[in-house]
Amino acid sequence: MPEIRNPNLDSQGPGGAGPGGDSRSLILLMGLVLVAVMAFQWFKKPDASQPTPQQVQQSQQAHQAAVNSTGSAASGTTPASQPVPAATAQVSAQSESTTTIENEKFRISFTNKGAQVEHWILKNFTDSTGKPLDMVQEQAAARFGLPFSLYTYDSALTTQVNTALYQPSTTGQVLAPNSVTFRYAAGGLDVEKTFSFDTSYVVSAHVTVKRNGVPVRALIAWPAGLGDMEEFIAAAGKRTTFSTHTDSQFAWSIDGKQDTQAAKKVSGNATIDQPYEYAALMDLYFTAALLPDVPQRATLVTFHNTIDLPTDPSDLNSAKKPADVIGLAVGDQSGDTKLRLYAGPKETDILNSVRAMSADGKPTGEQLSTLIQYGWWGIIAKPLYVALQWLHNLLGPGKYNWGWAIIIVTVVFNLILLPTRIWSMKSSLKMMRIQPRLDALKKKYANLKINDPKRAEMQNEQMAIMREEGVNMYGGCLPLLLQMPLFFAYYRVLLNAVELRHAQWFWLKDLAMPDPHYILPITIIGTMFLVQYITPSPGMDPTQRRMMAIMMPAIMGFTLLHFASGLALYWITGNIISLIMQVSINKSKLGQEMHDLAVKRAAKKKGNVAASTGRVIQGRR
């Protein structure tokens, strides 16, 4: 094939200085530079900081698997085109170690295995054996997890983060205020837990979990009940008796509205995304409450497990029954979780000082005191509690002062109700005066059928007689109507007052528990019978009255047999006061007139024989 030449590039000869020679030199120079660059690229080592295409592809696949397994699309799904950070250097401990944080209220022992809490000792409270109370329930935690464990939606990942050996920022004993950080990193997983402590019961927690640089939704958990659940210790054969209330509840506050749920109704592994101001696990006297720093992004998981316990704690071979063990975990939907945890007593003054986060990021939201369940009687119970606490503080830190405070408050309330009792007695006297006229009216209409229209005439005549004499048919019920709300409110106070737990009063070792010797219930039965026996009751049949005088005390005494002895102490004090008041009223002019009318009425019904034998029990003096 003939060679085609460009006339403009023809050389004037080899080595000539014309334009053709210069062009060939330039081409040669450019070729040499290109060869040098290619050689440099060939012999140069790859840059370790830049992932190879294969590494990028593997990281993207791992990231996608993590997102799919955790269900955390909202917490960091990365487009495939975005570069994935390289794995961080491995960080872990070589062996297990313990870090103990201590202040005047608690002593918390962390293990670096999972960066979890093994013991959460409350220094100012004891268990039924007198040892400092551990908020970590040993038997349940061994099966279902420790406080400050993590929960993710990948079971393998959850196991890994809760069994890895973390590198702690410090070991040994640390005095609060202070903080401790635990770090673990391996195979693309990076976990950091930081806990801060002050002089209160509140602990601040900050947890981040990343896999291949992508945040994973990991929730901070308190998974297995509270340490006050001593029946599990008895079931493990470590103790044959226990004396604590163990009914657990799940409690929460959303947008200022509080609610609770019994343990048996709590769902297992239920995820709820709601603006939780707090979510708490609690029993009668203690609570573990988690307060998210950003309630608007809060996510919650509830746990429900069971442990079979013997029906008789003293016989481990007795029939088994399932006992509920509930727990919870709280996190942030972004994968970066910050929250505070209150683990301590349900004591009003303390709970009033702990508030949830408000929308402006300040702790000015709901108070944790709403965890104390007074129910419908809160409007009465709260002032009663304040009065009881004030009186106890006035008496000082004496050994029996909670018992004396209950007695004094009961005396004061009965004195306040004394005018209503006198008014009731006057109303009863008026009713006794008109009773013959009412009996004659009933006799007049005795033959009427139930649906006879003339019965309305009888009722109108009865009302006319009562208005004429100024009688209120409900007057005799007024003291009872006033006493019952006080009784139920006082019952709620004494039931929920953690201050009464292990408080002593002479032979009573714990005012929060029933009387072990049954002295109070027996005394209640006796005093109630005497009050019923000497109190006049107009219009009541003597036989019916005897039944009431016996049955009512027996029922009440049996009921209080299983109630807190502090409540029984209140009830027996009220009975003794009622007995003294009734004796005084019976000796007064008012009481004498009622007694005489009662005797005359009984004699008219039963005849002179019954009256002379002294078997009439109405209006005894």
Contact criterion met (CB below 8 Å) for 515 and 566: no
Omega within 30 of 0 (cis) for the link into 313: no
Asked if residue 238 is part of any domain, the answer here is: yes
pLDDT attached to residue 239 = 60
Choose the weakest-confidence range: 75-89, 122-136, 489-503.
Answer: 75-89
Same domain as 568, residue 421: yes
Same domain as 410, residue 340: no
Place of tokens 């019965």: 455
Question: Using 50, 70 and 90 to split pLDDT, how confident is the model at 581?
Answer: confident
Asked if residue 128 is part of any domain, the answer here is: yes
Residue closest to 217 by CA, chosen among 100, 297, 324, 317: 297
Alpha carbon distance 590, 425 (integer Å): 8
**Distances 63 to 57, 78, 216, 376 between C-alpha atoms, Å:** 10, 8, 10, 52
Question: Using 50, 70 and 90 to split pLDDT, how confident is the model at 428?
Answer: confident
Contact criterion met (CB below 8 Å) for 319 and 310: yes
Same domain as 401, residue 479: yes
Mean pLDDT (whole number) for 249-258: 93
Mean pLDDT (whole number) for 568-579: 89
Among residues of the chain, what percentage have pLDDT more than 70?
77
Through-space distance between the first and last CA atoms of the chain, rounded to whole angstroms: 148
Mean pLDDT (whole number) for 89-98: 93
Instruction: Tell me the whole-structure pTM to 2 decimals.
Output: 0.75
Listed residues 344, 362, 380: the one ending a domain:
362
Q: Is the pLDDT of residue 617 over 50?
A: no
Asked if residue 404 is part of any domain, the answer here is: yes
| Token reading at 374 | 């007074």
Which range in 128-137, 280-289, 423-432, 467-476 is most confidently predicted, on average pLDDT? Answer: 280-289
Tens of pLDDT, residues 218-234:
999 999 989 887 777 76
Number of domains in the chain: 2
Instruction: Calculate the CA dihedral of residues 466, 469, 474, 476 and round it to 10 degrees.
Output: -140
Contact criterion met (CB below 8 Å) for 619 and 598: yes
Alpha carbon distance 225, 266 (integer Å): 13
Compute and round to an integer the Cα radius of gyration of the chain: 40
Asked if residue 80 is part of any domain, the answer here is: no
Mean pLDDT (whole number) for 178-207: 96
Question: What is the domain extent for residue 608?
Answer: 389-612
Helix H, strand E, coil C: the string for 539-579 is CCCHHHHHHHHHHHHHHHHHHHCCCCHHHHHHHHHHHHHHH
Q: What is the DSSP string of 166-185?
A: -EES--EEEESSEEEEEEEE
**Which residue type, as a one-letter code, is found at position 361?**
G
**Distances 251 to 261, 268, 363, 492 between C-alpha atoms, Å:** 6, 15, 19, 18
Mean pLDDT (whole number) for 382-395: 91
Mean pLDDT (whole number) for 228-243: 65
Same domain as 413, residue 319: no
Place of tokens 């269900």: 71
What DSSP element (H or E) covers 99?
Answer: strand 98-102
Contact criterion met (CB below 8 Å) for 522 and 538: no
Mean pLDDT (whole number) for 586-590: 81
For β-strands 320-332 and 257-262, DSSP reports them as unpaired
Alpha carbon distance 205, 340 (integer Å): 6
Alpha carbon distance 590, 582 (integer Å): 11
Same domain as 569, residue 490: yes
Q: Is the pLDDT of residue 7 over 80?
A: no
Residue 204's domain is classified under what CATH number? 2.70.98.90
Helices (H), 396-498: 401-416, 418-444, 454-469, 478-496
Same domain as 400, residue 346: no
Contact criterion met (CB below 8 Å) for 374 and 382: yes
Same domain as 346, residue 203: yes
Helices (H), 308-453: 348-352, 378-395, 401-416, 418-444
Same domain as 413, residue 288: no
Q: Is the pLDDT of residue 15 over 70?
A: no
| Token reading at 212 | 């291949």
Same domain as 470, residue 331: no
φ, ψ at 220 (rounded to 5°) = -85, 125
pLDDT attached to residue 349 = 92
Alpha carbon distance 346, 385 (integer Å): 13
Mean pLDDT (whole number) for 436-459: 81
Burial of 257 (0-12, 13-18, 19+ CB in 10 A): exposed
| Token reading at 54 | 């294969």
Asked if residue 4 is part of any domain, the answer here is: no
Q: Is the pLDDT of residue 399 over 50?
A: yes
Same domain as 346, residue 200: yes
What DSSP element (H or E) covers 35?
Answer: helix 19-43
pLDDT attached to residue 69 = 41
Tens of pLDDT, residues 506-528:
999 889 888 989 999 999 889 98
Contact criterion met (CB below 8 Å) for 573 and 560: no
Which range in 421-430, 529-538, 569-578 is most confidently predicted, on average pLDDT? Answer: 569-578
Listed residues 362, 379, 401: the one ending a domain:
362
Mean pLDDT (whole number) for 327-349: 95
Tens of pLDDT, residues 529-568:
888 888 766 556 666 667 777 888 888 778 778 888 998 8
Q: What is the mean pLDDT of the chain?
A: 80
Asked if residue 139 is part of any domain, the answer here is: yes
Helices (H), 501-541: 519-534
pLDDT attached to residue 478 = 66
Q: What are the beta bridge partners of residue 132?
A: 126
pLDDT attached to residue 260 = 93
pLDDT attached to residue 79 = 40
Same domain as 420, residue 287: no
| Token reading at 265 | 């109704």
Same domain as 358, residue 393: no
Q: Is the pLDDT of residue 425 over 60?
A: yes
pLDDT attached to residue 460 = 86
φ, ψ at 7 (rounded to 5°) = -60, -30
Asked if residue 211 is part of any domain, the answer here is: yes
Alpha carbon distance 560, 509 (integer Å): 17
